[in-house]
Amino acid sequence: MELRKNYFADVRKDGLNEIGQPRPRLDSPGHVTGKTAYFADRNFPDMLHLKMVRSPHHHARIRSIDTSAAEKHPGVVKILTAKDVPHNVYTILILIQIGPEDETVLADGKVRWKGEAVVAVLAETERAAQEAAAKVKVDYEVLPAVFDMEEALKPGAPLVNEYHGQNHYLYDSGECRKVRFGDVEAGFAGADHILEQSYQSSPIEHAPTETTGCVVAPEGNDRFTCYTNTQAMFFTLDNTSIILQMPGSKLHFVGGTVGGGFGGKVDVIVEPIAILGAKLTGRPVCFIYSREEEMQISSPRAAEKVVIKDGVMKDGRIVARKVTGYTDAGAYSRHSPYGAQKGAAHYPGPYTIPNVWIDTYCVYTNRTPSSAMRGFGVTIGDFALEVQMDKLARLIGMDPLEFRFVNAYRDGDMKAHRQPTEGAALIECMQEASRAANWPVAEEFMAMSSYTKGA
Amino acid sequence: MAKVPVQFTLNGAEKAEFVDSGTTLLHALRDKIGDTSPKGGCHQGTCGACSVIIDGELRLSCLTLAETCNGAEIRTTSGLAEAGVLHPLQRAFLDAFATQCGFCTPGMIMAAKVLLDHTPNPSREEVVEALSSNICRCTGYEPIIQAVLRAARANSQNAA
């Protein structure tokens, strides 16, 4: 596909010499020779294997944990429960003051989702760890669970997470993130047509070929080297430092090589417990998710629900947009309060609309905690918005691409969350798409520019 | 647990190890012998990242017991380059941007090598069929298919 190359040619003075030139990937020679070192390629003598005992229930009180039979299993070296973790209740984003701490490294008194980590077993072999984990007896009192965001927000719904006190994240703006711009009700009142639609998505698993994990080696001086495939090296280092109450100088993280991440490896899950195991046994520890754990236990993209109400004029102008977004965090926050907040800023879409009202909720349910995945907070929103745009165009009998030209934001336009538009280039992208896709639009749209309001 | 002796050649070199009965070839290669080029992505025979060549045939090392490999000739991606010169398949994967995270790459190259050993000038359909047991989650299959076709062309030009 040949693109015109003269867009913004006057903006950059630094001749773009690399553009259009193939450059070898730096990591490719290692990949094709099998020499690239992934975390699991590190092997140490006397390395222990860690397996997790997980909750079979979506929501339950833990009456008791009996590890006596597991301790006697041949090859078992150490069994860890909540009391062994120095700072057991944590939340990843506490590093940027997004609290409260709401998640346990190992369950303490309660489990809030099916698959939650309860007891860690360290043994000489993977097989011994697996067999011993099956011998851990946990007595549960099953509690009512809630799996639907709207059910979770109703009065009287089972409380998912006591650290929040209600089934939604409490922002400084209240029960949701809010954007208020213009007068949305006046906009609806003056519109030729109103269209309200609801869009929903399921959780999506990243399914990396390399499963989540780490290998930890004690350095013999109370310092630990952790080989990990985390996508969030310093988040992991700092959170591990908090959870284990160890200074960062005692933690040496080695990573950067990830066998597929897609956002699925930004949570801090395997490293703290593996380092704790290495600290308490003095031996190297390997904790690698099985394929089943990767698919069932690791955070997926959040399920979302997006309700969009638009007021549109016959000439194509959207005059009012009201969006209510719901992000299903599952049982714990992880990155979801941030994802829901990102949605609030994003929901008007790349369009200039004079009257906007947005509420986005981060909701807790007894589902697998969700977290980051490629553009989380905006990807599902974009799906909803662009389907809505097509429906609106059809409603007023306008070409869907021309409809987007009418509403496209341009440099200098004020966005609903009060950031002025800069370097938009949306008009130019659509002009090029019109040509490349052979989807012609009227000449007035081909003459438009992102730089100026006038055609 | 009683150990079982295993002896085979790996990329032309004699190897001998004692393993627990039931140890997979993947585990023996990676953790005993130290060839980590075969990868463990699922340990249940579905992803193809552990693919190796045993006596000329493509095999999943995660489903092959090490003790069944006595006397076998085993080849892995780490032994493909000769005297530091990349094999045409490795060169083609590099040049065609057929790697991204790289985790599936050694298995892909093994599957492609067995194909080209048997079918030097494969059709696109034959390439797709030969790679159909190997999962890539990042790059997408098109650059990988193109790399295998490119390697086949390079081979036939060299032969001509």
Minimal Cβ distance to A210: which of B81, B103, B109: B103
Do B58 and B109 lie in one domain? The reply is: no
Do A195 and A324 lie in one domain? The reply is: yes
**Among A281, A296, A311, which residue terminates a domain?**
A296
A28/B99 CB distance under 8 A: yes
Give A155-166 pLDDT, tens digit per residue. 999 999 999 999
Side chain identity at residue A343, one-letter code: G
Q: Quick one: pLDDT at residue B157?
A: 83
Residues of A in Cβ contact (< 8 Å) with B136:
209
| Residue A16 covered by a domain | no
CA distance A357 to A127: 55
**Among A267, A296, A325, which residue terminates a domain?**
A296
Q: Identify from B21, B43, B101 which residue to disrupt to test chain A contact, counting A C-beta atoms within 10 A and taking the largest count.
A: B101
CA distance B11 to A117: 42
Supply the range of the domain harboring residue B138.
88-159
Q: Quick one: pLDDT at residue A13?
A: 63
Distance from CA of A43 to the nearest CA of B (A): 7
Q: Quick one: pLDDT at residue A22?
A: 80
Q: Identify from A27, A33, A43 which residue to disrupt to test chain B contact, counting B C-beta atoms within 10 A and taking the largest count.
A: A33
**Among B79, B108, B127, which residue terminates a domain?**
B79
Q: In Å, what is the CA distance from B43 to each residue of A51, A97, A300?
A: 16, 40, 22
Residue A369 DSSP class? P
B104/A40 CB distance under 8 A: no
ipTM strictly over 0.90?
Answer: yes
Q: Provide the number of structural domains found in chain B.
A: 2
**Which residues are within 8 A (CB) of A185 and not within 5 positions of it... i.e. 6 or more apart?**
A320
CA-nearest of A307, A62, A95, A360 to A201 is A307
Q: Identify from A25, A28, A32, A43 which residue to disrupt to test chain B contact, counting B C-beta atoms within 10 A and taking the largest count.
A: A32
The helix (run of H) or strand (run of E) holding residue A385 is helix A379-396
Q: Quick one: pLDDT at residue A455?
A: 43
**Which residues are within 8 A (CB) of B88 and not within 5 positions of it... i.e. 6 or more apart?**
B151, B154, B155, B158
Supply the range of the domain harboring residue A380.
177-203+300-446
CA distance A187 to A27: 53
For A387, half-sphere exposure in the C-beta direction (CA atoms, 13 angstrom radius) is 14
Do A94 and A197 lie in one domain? The reply is: no
CA-nearest of A159, A59, A164, A55 to A101 is A164
CA distance B81 to B72: 21
Q: Chain A neighbours among B 52-71 (CB < 8 Å)?
A: none
DSSP string, A261-305: -TTTT-S--HHHHHHHHHHHHSS-EEEE--HHHHHHTS--BPPEE
Do B71 and B129 lie in one domain? The reply is: no
Please give the span between the terminal C-alpha atoms of chain B, in angstroms, as a whole number: 55
CA distance B109 to A258: 19
Query: Which residue in this structure is represented by tokens 């209510």?
Result: A324
CA distance A61 to A48: 30
Q: Quick one: pLDDT at residue A443?
A: 97
B34 at interface of A, judged by CB pairs closer than 8 A: yes
Minimal Cβ distance to A260: which of B30, B37, B138: B138
Q: Provide the number of structural domains found in chain A.
A: 2
3-state SS assignment for residue A49: strand
Q: Quick one: pLDDT at residue A3?
A: 60
A291/B42 CB distance under 8 A: yes
Do A242 and A190 lie in one domain? The reply is: no
Taking the CB of residue A442, how many other CB atoms lie within 10 A of it? 10
B31 at interface of A, judged by CB pairs closer than 8 A: yes
Give pLDDT < 70 ranges for chain A: 1-16, 19-20, 453-455
Q: Quick one: pLDDT at residue B158?
A: 79
Q: Quick one: pLDDT at residue A11?
A: 61
Taking any CB pair shorter than 8 Å as contact, residues of chain A touching chain B are 22, 24-25, 27-38, 40-41, 43, 206-211, 258-262, 290-291
* CA angle in degrees (0–180, nearest 5) for A137-A141-A142: 110
Residues of A in Cβ contact (< 8 Å) with B80:
33
Residues of A in Cβ contact (< 8 Å) with B109:
32
A43/B86 CB distance under 8 A: no
Do A243 and A271 lie in one domain? The reply is: yes
A27/B137 CB distance under 8 A: no
Do B98 and B74 lie in one domain? The reply is: no
**Among B79, B106, B135, which residue terminates a domain?**
B79
Phi (first) and psi of residue B10, to 5 degrees? -120, 115
Q: Quick one: pLDDT at residue A155?
A: 96
Give pLDDT < 70 ranges for chain B: 1, 160
